[in-house]
Structure 1
Amino acid sequence: MSTAERLIESAQQLLWERGYVGTSPKAIQQRAGAGQGSMYHHFSGKQDLALQAIRRSAEQLCAESEARFSRPGTAYERIAAYLCREREVLRGCRVGRLAHDPDVAASALLREPLNDTFEWLRGRIEQLLVEGQERGEFGAGLVPVDAAAALVAVVQGGYVLAQAADSTEPFDQAVRGALNLLAAYTTA
């Protein structure tokens, strides 16, 4: 793995563990086994490296989600596969948790990949719900754009509830509740 890749991967992990504010360039360099000169050879500074790491985490999250969304099955089954996928719930969402970081919130540049990721998730779930309606899987009463936003919010809110309780049960309960509500719109 190249030095730049090690730096990005180290930054990804540290941002997930500590957030932007709590991640120092020195900590990134130490975890990557890279010197200060190497970091500044590849990146203009902490913000540049963090942006690359956030984008990488966002790409990985989208790819993991798309793997569930593109499976065979009904729209409900594919959404359920996404909602029920294996997660490190108590660590929080590696993308979503950064939205609470004051330095990320204050930077349009750092917020952009977060917003893009959530927009993509909402849009992709909406596509599945529309597809399900067109196939007759969901009744006409379902509003795909609203339901998609609610499902993304369930996941992100579930992480927060789980972390506050120091238990995965609130997350699991939120997912079960969302699936039960979505099932109420199925026609089968």
Structure 2
Amino acid sequence: MTKGQARVAGWEEGKALGNFVPGGQIGGDIFRNGDDLLPDVDGRTWHEADIVLTDAMKRSKQSGTRLYALGAGSRTSRITIMRPFISCQIGSSEMEVVVEGDQIVDVDKLHRGLAEALDFGPYYGRNMSALWDRLTTDVERPVDLVWRHSEQSRRAIGEEAYGRIRSLLLEVEEMDLARPADRRFTVRFE
């Protein structure tokens, strides 16, 4: 069902669809491509759907795959499956957030991905101060953040920006050392 159809059933952004439409999945909405994630094709429209998700929790709290289909009238001529560049996996006791560094092309994309994965909400400022505030006060623990391909991110976003973000994440981890192990933020760079 589309987001519009889900809203008619009582669903709200940030809520688990299964609370309103048991077994429901959202898909078919027009993908606006504001981040130039996919190529522009004149006269054609990309549609999106999240797949391999559970309807029991909101999207930002689970990893999954997004399906993009390029439509031409009533026919679909191209389908692209993309893995999220930042995913969130919730285990029995902790949340693992994986940053796919080989897909981070700028700092803004990193902020947008972290905001979605960690549910920063609509008023997140996408800057270092806002990131510090969210990570130190709003993100429920425990969280294990894994930044894969971090060297590729460093090259893509620049040494200075990467260094500031890395330092901030390590500082949050250090601050949490005073907490019990099951109430900590941890970070690994791979």
Does TM, scored on the shorter chain, surpass 0.5?
A: no
The structure in which a higher percent of residues are helix is 1
The higher relative CO (CA closer than 8 Å, separation ≥ 6) is in: 1
Decide which structure has greater strand share: 2
TM-score, scaled relative to structure 1: 0.30
State the TM-score, normalizing by the size of structure 2. 0.30
